[in-house]
Copies of this chain bind each other. A is one copy, B any other.
């Protein structure tokens, strides 16, 4: 049962579960492996799972009408990810979820999640809390985009996602903070050059 310790610890940060509840929960999970550059979900599909990353790293992104990608979120180990719009509405979504490296998730289907809310009400609390936290960080990110120049958004990203910056291709970071790879490159040069 060691392979479930990461997800159980993640959940126990907010709620307590009995052994029975743990077993019940675990029985609902479905492991999915995604190879580097393959997709867990594509735009146009209906999102059927809340996914918890146990290994590797995913990125959620959209493609705009001009063919440009925009990164909505990264999901490294120990993070949850889904196309929330599609998951809630069960309509075709707009988000691609792709593996940046070979990745494993534990997938909780929408129907399983809803059963969980009824059988173990504490899960309602758990998902309320992680949704609240997610909301707060998206609000902050929006305000950063409205109020900060790209250079400060980059520095904030490096602080908040410390470690991730080393793993991610720079162009993904650029897309996340909302600049072109060329401009990010220029900023990095400037930051290096000016700091000595």
**Which of these binds chain B: A34-42, A100-108, A134-142, A183-191?**
A134-142
At the interface, is chain A mostly helix, strand, loop or mixed? helix
Residues in chain B near residue A136, CB distance under 8 A: 84-85, 88
Query: What is the CB-to-nearest-CB distance from A115 to chain B, in angstroms, rounded to a whole number?
Result: 14
A92 CB within 8 Å of chain B: no
Are the CB atoms of A143 and B85 closer together than 8 Å? no
Task: Across the interface, name the chain B residue whose C-beta is closest to A134.
Answer: B135
A2 CB within 8 Å of chain B: no
A163 CB within 8 Å of chain B: no
Residues in chain B near residue A171, CB distance under 8 A: none
A111 CB within 8 Å of chain B: no
A68 CB within 8 Å of chain B: yes
Query: How many residues on A have C-beta within 8 angstroms of the other chain's C-beta atoms?
Result: 31
Task: Across the interface, name the chain B residue whose C-beta is closest to A121.
Answer: B121
- Copies held by the complex: 2
Are the CB atoms of A132 and B68 closer together than 8 Å? no
Of B72, B84, B133, B147, which is within 8 A of A142 by CB? B72
Of B64, B85, B117, which is within 8 A of A140 by CB? B85
A141 to B140, CA, bound (A): 12
A106 to B117, CA, bound (A): 28
A181 to B141, CA, bound (A): 22
A124 to B116, CA, bound (A): 14
A127 CB within 8 Å of chain B: yes
Residues in chain B near residue A138, CB distance under 8 A: 135, 138-139, 142
A-B contact pairs, 9 of them (CB 8 A): A72-B142, A84-B139, A121-B124, A124-B125, A131-B131, A138-B139, A138-B142, A145-B145, A145-B146
Q: A85-B140, A88-B136 are known contacts; what are 18 more A-B pairs with Cβ within 8 Å?
A: A62-B143, A72-B139, A84-B132, A84-B135, A84-B136, A85-B139, A117-B125, A124-B125, A124-B128, A127-B128, A131-B132, A131-B135, A134-B135, A135-B138, A138-B138, A138-B139, A141-B142, A142-B142
